[in-house]
Amino acid sequence: MSAHAESYDPNVNYLNRDWSLKSWLLTLDHKRIAWLYLISVSVFFAIGGFFAMLIRMELLTPQGDLLSPDTYNRVFTQHGVVMIFLFLIPSIPAVLGNFLVPLMVGAVDVAFPRLNLLSWYIYTVAGILVILALITGGVDTGWTFYTPLSSTYANSQVMLVAIAVFVNGFASILTGLNFLVTIHTMRAKNLTWGKLPLFIWAMYATSLINVLGTPVVAITLLMAGAERVLGLGIFDPALGGDPILFQHLFWFYSHPAVYIMILPAFGVISELIAAFSRKKIFGYTFIAASSVGIAILGFIVWAHHMFTTGMSAYAATVFSALTMLIAVPTAVKVINWTATMYQGSVSWETPMLYAVGFLGLFLIGGLTGVMLATLGLDIHVHDTYFVVAHFHYVMVGGAIMGFLGGIHYWWPKMTGRLYNGSISKVSAILVFVGFNLTFFPQFLLGYMGMPRRYHAYPEEFQALNVFSTAGATVLGLGYILPAFYLTYSLFKGEKAPANPWGAMSIEWQTPSPPPLHNFVTPPVITEPYDYEHELIKEQIAELKKHVKPQEVPLG
Amino acid sequence: MANGHSTTLHHHFESYDQQRNASSLGMWFFLAQEVMFFGGLFTAYMIYRTQNGLDFAVASSHLNIPLGALNTAILIASSFTMAMAVKKSVLAQRKAIVGYLILTLILGCGFLVVKYFEYAEKFEHNTVPGSSFEFHVEPELIAQYDLSPERVVTMEKRAEIFFSLYFMMTGLHALHMVIGVGIGIWLMFPAMAGKFNMDYHNPVENFGLYWHFVDLVWIFLFPLLYLLGGNALAGG
């Protein structure tokens, strides 16, 4: 690393060293690949959001007057496919993970930079296939592709979308594989496993699921696809094949996929809570171990998606108990975060608002998960809006809050610019309020028996649906605002110092934005989140020179 | 460091040791991914085979055991030549690496040729799943197991599932062989240029791991798909 220090020019960083299109599209720099992903996942978030908007507009009235039943099927399927496969799964790992994993372990790049770029191209191909499917009629099977609907009966672009999901799987696998190897073999000297930031532990656990789970959904969709196109008969009941086997194989991946979406958010939240409580994180070992624990347990609970499908009562009982077990490592995290904030010197910067919002929303999402794991209750609310509200609390209230919190936290590092604090706080509050207005009424609707996936509903459900649609409008505004003020800050924002938050992990020891090879001098490795360390006092002193003191309520 | 080394050590690694560790670990994680990929298929096979033991055995007796056995022998031999190529690459013996790689590729292609004849046979006998699928249970078997006409009909349907799995499993395996041959040809260039040595041989080693893995899949496929039928015919 000393070799890079000799040629260091403080005016040149990874962004401004070359602006040509070629230098971006053929880049092997993990920090630039993070940007490629950030732009692409934002596009797909907007597309998925557009479908969400159509759904909410349709459900404003009970009659089902805006969309035909068939169109509605396509709209909710496409909302699910785009949001899950093209936004949520790559969001935090491929954007923040790509940017941060090498920085946080003190490496020059990920272990396999070319595979990293390849993963973005694979993702792009999958995205284009999905867009192609949308243009040529869309897909109507639900994002779960259940057979025999997907293999025999559906008349929509099932194959295009299934191939897209199959292809996209390789992008996840390559990213996961890259992170696992980077964390194992590229750590800076003295940066032992016990000193790694908790974000890295979360990325490690996520990557394990990416590598071990994704191939299963790939082969499952391949079998269903071979049945549809080549006439093979693996899940065909007419031959004695079993469609429920498809569901088992599908959920063997797709349940762990929930943890691919939420574990990275856990990692982000651990960083945010420690940084804005200015305190050593409570229970480091437990939080780190619980990430890996969730990844492992996540592989043995899949059948709780199938309690009403037809399964032995004994199997259902075991899966119910195992599912409840997941509440243990999850609660470990939530309790440790709360304990970290306790008697910390908490400051309410924008990322912290997202982190605290996450705690509230995820708590509701997690607890309703335990309710759904209960066999009797699940049978009552299965396939109702209760389930829809539950998984949106986890995936939107959890994963997207984590994503936005992380983007706001590392934005100064990624861009070298500060954004407007007031607007971003307003937007964080809009997201929180809008989210609750949108999805809390859905718990009530579901409990009262409104089924999911219908374009029309009985009139007595209208009032709550109007609430939900109104909330979605607020939520949408909260999501659109960052696109504007963050883009504005890129060009007009105040220059950011190396460590604008006074935070304690090694990515804050390099300039903002970092140079091409990440570090100018080898980073100082400390105990994790050691806010008593000399280094942090120096950095805070440095920070006070840059920013007006009243803007930084440092403890 | 000797000449030529600087081009084989990628800039983001600090040493050859680190590069080799990263490269091997990456390959092992990739193979774990492959195990899960084939694992989905093996799971489907296991479940259907447990539910339809006799039906699968009867269907299996239509596979060509001598050709399957020949292919098993070819693959085991190719694993040996592959292992030798890896050993020679550590020792930087340029001609020997190239020679063993060529032998491995010839054996790999041999496997694919035999597989082609096997598939052609299936197309001739219409045991390829789809609308033209035809399968008839032999009269001796019907007599031996005293099968009712309805049972024979279900048996013929289950045979289509068996052949669906057969084509899916052997087809994906063959696809892996084709990719393997492609990678092998691509490796010939650095091998002929004498790039491989003690410090830099991970491409050959990783290709070897991949090759052995694909062989290993076949070692499971052969008994599960081909040898299953012997039981039914022997009355077991």
Q: What is the pLDDT of residues A285-316, one digit of tens each?
A: 999 999 999 999 999 999 999 999 988 999 99
Residue A18 placed within a domain: no
Report residue A131: phi and psi, to 5°: -60, -40
Chain A to chain B Cβ contacts (< 8 Å): 108
The answer to whether the CB of A163 falls within 8 A of the CB of A225 is yes
Torsion of CA A77, A81, A83, A86, to 10 degrees: -160
Q: Do the Cβ atoms of B129 and A245 come within 8 Å? A: no
Give the span between the Cα atoms of B104 and A387, in whole angstroms: 54
CB distance from B29 to chain A under 8 Å? yes
**In this predicted structure, what is the pLDDT of residue B130?**
87
Instruction: Calculate what percentage of chain B has a pLDDT beyond 90.
Output: 84
Domain that holds residue A142: 26-551
Tell me the per-residue pLDDT of A85-111, one tens digit each, with 9 for 90 and over: 999 999 999 999 999 999 999 999 999
Give the span between the Cα atoms of B120 and B113, in whole angstroms: 11
Residue B139 placed within a domain: yes
Give the span between the Cα atoms of A6 and A4, in whole angstroms: 5
Domain that holds residue B151: 13-234
Residues of B in contact with A231 (CB under 8 A): 129-131
The answer to whether the CB of A76 falls within 8 A of the CB of A453 is yes
CB distance from B36 to chain A under 8 Å? yes
**In this predicted structure, what is the pLDDT of residue A455?**
94
Mean pLDDT for all residues in chain A: 93
Could you say which of A186, A215, A232 has the minimum Cβ distance to residue B37?
A: A215
User: Which of B15, B155, B161 to mutate: most A Cβ within 10 Å?
Assistant: B161
Strand partners, A384: A451
Here the tokens at position B75 are 């693959």
**In this predicted structure, what is the pLDDT of residue A550?**
45
**In this predicted structure, what is the pLDDT of residue B8?**
86
**If you measure CA to CA, which chain A residue comes closest to B130?**
A231
CB distance from B160 to chain A under 8 Å? yes
Residue B154 placed within a domain: yes
DSSP letter for each residue of A408-431: HHHHHHHHSB---HHHHHHHHHHH
State the CATH number of the domain containing residue A290.
1.20.210.10
First-to-final CA distance of chain A: 34
Strand partners, A417: A495
**In this predicted structure, what is the pLDDT of residue A152?**
87
Strand partners, A110: none
User: What's the DSSP call for residue A451?
Assistant: B
Number of domains in chain B: 1
Whether the bond between A256 and the residue before it is cis, its omega within 30 degrees of 0, is no
Smallest CA–CA distance, residue A410 to chain B, in Å, is 23
Q: To which residue do tokens 């209760």 refer?
A: A386
Smallest CA–CA distance, residue B20 to chain A, in Å, is 10
CA neighbor of A327 nearest in space, from A381, A374, A360, A280: A374
Question: Confidence band (pLDDT; 50, 70, 90) for B231?
Answer: low
User: What's the DSSP call for residue A395?
Assistant: I
Report residue A500: phi and psi, to 5°: -65, -20
Which residues of A sit within 8 Å Cβ distance of B?
A: 107-109, 111-113, 173, 177-178, 180-182, 184-186, 211-216, 218-220, 222-223, 226-227, 230-234, 236, 238-242, 245, 249, 252
Question: Confidence band (pLDDT; 50, 70, 90) for A546?
Answer: low
Instruction: Measure Cα distances from A93 to A38, A121, A201, A204 in Å.
Output: 11, 16, 12, 10
pLDDT at B234 over 60: no
Cβ count near A495 (within 10 Å): 12
Residue B59 placed within a domain: yes
Question: Confidence band (pLDDT; 50, 70, 90) for B115?
Answer: very high
Q: Determine the average pLDDT of the residues in B82-89.
A: 97
Question: Confidence band (pLDDT; 50, 70, 90) for B21?
Answer: very high
User: Which of B48, B56, B164 to mutate: most A Cβ within 10 Å?
Assistant: B164
Give the span between the Cα atoms of B55 and B63, in whole angstroms: 14
Here the tokens at position B148 are 């009712």
User: Which of A112, A239, A252 to mutate: most B Cβ within 10 Å?
Assistant: A239
Tell me the per-residue pLDDT of A152-161, one tens digit each, with 9 for 90 and over: 888 889 999 9
Letter string b/e over residues B152-177, b meaning 16 or more CB atoms within 10 A of that residue's CB: eeebbbbbbbbbbbbbbbbebbbebb
Residue A6 placed within a domain: no
Tell me the per-residue pLDDT of A327-338, one tens digit each, with 9 for 90 and over: 999 999 999 999
DSSP letter for each residue of B26-95: HHHHHHHHHHHHHHHHHHHHHHHHHHTHHHHHHHHTTS-HHHHHHHHHHHHHHHHHHHHHHHHHHTT-HH
Residues of B in contact with A236 (CB under 8 A): 161
Instruction: Measure Cα distances from A288 to A253, A270, A281, A293, A298 in Å.
Output: 23, 10, 11, 9, 16
Q: Do the Cβ atoms of A185 and B18 come within 8 Å? A: yes
User: What's the DSSP call for residue A27?
Assistant: -
Smallest CA–CA distance, residue B69 to chain A, in Å, is 26
CA neighbor of A306 nearest in space, from A373, A220, A229, A399: A373
State the ipTM, two decimals: 0.93
State the CATH number of the domain containing residue B64.
1.20.120.80
pLDDT at A442 over 60: yes
Q: Coil, strand, or helix at residue A495?
A: strand
Residues of B in contact with A186 (CB under 8 A): 12, 18, 22
Residue B25 placed within a domain: yes
Q: Do the Cβ atoms of B22 and A239 come within 8 Å? A: no
**In this predicted structure, what is the pLDDT of residue B236?**
44
CA neighbor of B51 nearest in space, from A242, A316, A319: A242
> Angle formed by the axes of helices A198-229 and A243-277, to 10°?
160
**In this predicted structure, what is the pLDDT of residue A84?**
97
CB distance from B58 to chain A under 8 Å? no
Smallest CA–CA distance, residue B136 to chain A, in Å, is 15
Whether the bond between A523 and the residue before it is cis, its omega within 30 degrees of 0, is no
Cβ count near A6 (within 10 Å): 6
Q: To which residue do tokens 């243990």 refer?
A: A328
Q: Do the Cβ atoms of B25 and A184 come within 8 Å? A: yes
